[in-house]
Amino acid sequence: MKTRIVLGIVGIALAGACGNTKVLDTWIDSAVTPAPAHRIVVVGLSGDEVTRRLFEDTFSGELNKRGNDAVAGHTFLPKELEGDPDSALALITKEGFDAVLTARSLGVHTEETETQGTAYYIPDSGYYGWNGYYGAVYQDVTATTYTTRTEKAMVETHLYQTSTKKLVWGARSETTSTGKLTEGMRDYAHTVVGDLAKSGFIK
């Protein structure tokens, strides 16, 4: 069996259409003492409005399930502030948020796995009786090789403190495509938020 990687670029949408999320790497600012944020705004960095809203709603919902106070960014951040981080942060701070959770796509790769069929034997014709079987010549039969393609999305998730404008936690995750956007987004959010909770920056 052999595997090769084919690279491509997509948005957060594919990560949402994935399941079986794995957090590959986590970073925490060691200079900051972890404490649960009082109010968190979730911001999806995606050019697709539907994907962004689904991400923000799903992640804020997952955070709220754990007892946090989280809000989806699209509920109050105007579209014209996209690309204007200073104005966006000013509004976020004014609304009483002390943390911002963001996510952006790092791309998608397709793993192609070639699996060789299992080799087995069948007797040559005419050798099914003992006389023919003893010392019979067997045919080596190999099943057809087949290829399995699996799409995996890489996503980067960050948590920033609004008071210092600094990154305090970051994670790189990988999810396997299932083609079901809503279901996959829930799995993705559950896994990443669970890992974030271990850091102490959220409940």
- At 7-21, the pLDDT tens digits run 333 334 444 444 588
How far is Cα 162 from Cα 89, in angstroms, rounded to an integer? 7
In a domain, 30, yes or no: yes
185: pLDDT confidence band, cut at 50, 70 and 90? confident
Question: Poorest-confidence range of 23-32, 87-96, 139-148?
Answer: 139-148
- At 79-92, the pLDDT tens digits run 888 888 999 999 99
In a domain, 89, yes or no: yes
In a domain, 67, yes or no: yes
Question: Poorest-confidence range of 80-94, 147-161, 169-183?
Answer: 169-183
In a domain, 135, yes or no: no
Query: Do 6 and 173 meet the contact criterion of CB atoms below 8 Å apart?
Result: no
In a domain, 127, yes or no: no
In a domain, 48, yes or no: yes
Compute the average pLDDT of residues 140-160.
73
Cα separation of the two ends of the chain: 43
How far is Cα 28 from Cα 30, in angstroms, rounded to an integer? 6
Residues of the domain holding 179: 10-107+152-199
Kindly report the CATH number assigned to the domain that includes residue 49. 3.40.50.10070
In a domain, 56, yes or no: yes
Give the count of domains, the chain: 1
- At 93-141, the pLDDT tens digits run 999 999 999 988 887 777 766 666 555 544 555 544 444 444 444 444 4
pTM recorded for the entire structure: 0.74
Pairing between β-strand 2-8 and β-strand 99-115 as defined by DSSP bridges: antiparallel
In a domain, 136, yes or no: no
Query: Do 121 and 139 meet the contact criterion of CB atoms below 8 Å apart?
Result: yes
